[in-house]
Chain A
Amino acid sequence: DAKTTQPPSMDCAEGRAANLPCNHSTISGNEYVYWYRQIHSQGPQYIIHGLKNNETNEMASLIITEDRKSSTLILPHATLRDTAVYYCIVRVASNTGKLIFGQGTTLQVKP
């Protein structure tokens, strides 16, 4: 599975959009981009995933560049409860399904 690069930390003001970048320049054509987050002392929570089209759900939007070498997770109106470590992961859609976590981005939402 391709490696990803994320900034170690980011701050965001409450109520503003949080834009979390991820570089995955070695991504293969059959690899999806997944985003998870982990709130302190809890298990990771699935946010969203995509292959090449932009995706949106009730939690967030995922913007994938046309060359698929990078993506951005957007939390449209960040709240204090969105403070967490956000992990960007790329993997092949196969029935092995395992996820390899990098170091992620610690997002601190401030009042």
Chain B
Amino acid sequence: GAVVSQHPSRVICKSGTSVKIECRSLDFQATTMFWYRQFPKKSLMLMATSNEGSKATYEQGVEKDKFLINHASLTLSTLTVTSAHPEDSSFYICSARTASGSSGELFFGEGSRLTVL
């Protein structure tokens, strides 16, 4: 299947700093990528839809100024957690579609575990 890669896989930061997580589609172009977060023993929660060349669409309750999303190319989307606090500690996962306008499946990255001290 198609490969989606995230970096870093783990990051620890101090409270108040900003952290950037990258999501890359390695062998296909993705006009749309999605960002999820997951707390321990919970399901994935969709945060936002990242569209190449345009502003991201955020789900209800997700702060757009807190979670900055940039999708500058067809193979890269970034999520920046600004002024991180301990409650932002979570597992962040991105996904990308292989084709638009079809029933094509979504492929997911390996996830990035953020720990804010």
Taking beta carbons and an 8 Å cutoff, which residues of A are in contact with B? Answer: 32, 34, 36, 38, 41-46, 49, 51, 87, 93-104
Contact = CB atoms under 8 A, between A and B. Distances in A.
A46 B103 contact: no
Interface residues of B, number: 28
A44 B49 contact: no
Contacts of A87: 43
B93 interface: yes
A94 B101 contact: yes
B43 A41 contact: no
Contacts of A43: 4, 6, 93, 95, 108-111
Q: Is the interface of A mostly helix, strand, loop or mixed?
A: loop
A97 B97 CA distance: 7
A44 B44 contact: yes
Contacts of A97: 32, 34, 97, 100, 104, 106
25 contacts: A32-B103, A34-B105, A36-B108, A38-B44, A41-B113, A42-B111, A43-B6, A43-B109, A44-B108, A45-B108, A46-B1, A46-B106, A49-B105, A87-B43, A94-B101, A95-B101, A96-B32, A97-B97, A97-B104, A98-B34, A98-B46, A99-B46, A99-B95, A102-B43, A103-B43
Nearest to A35: B105
B91 A46 contact: no
Interface in B75-114: 91, 93, 95, 97, 100-111, 113
A46 B43 contact: no
Most buried by B among A34, A43, A44, A99: A43
A98 B57 CA distance: 11
Interface string B1-38: 10010100000000000000000000000001010100
B43 A104 contact: yes
Most buried by B among A34, A46, A98: A98
A79 B31 CA distance: 36
Given A96-B49, A97-B97, A101-B44, A46 B105 contact: yes
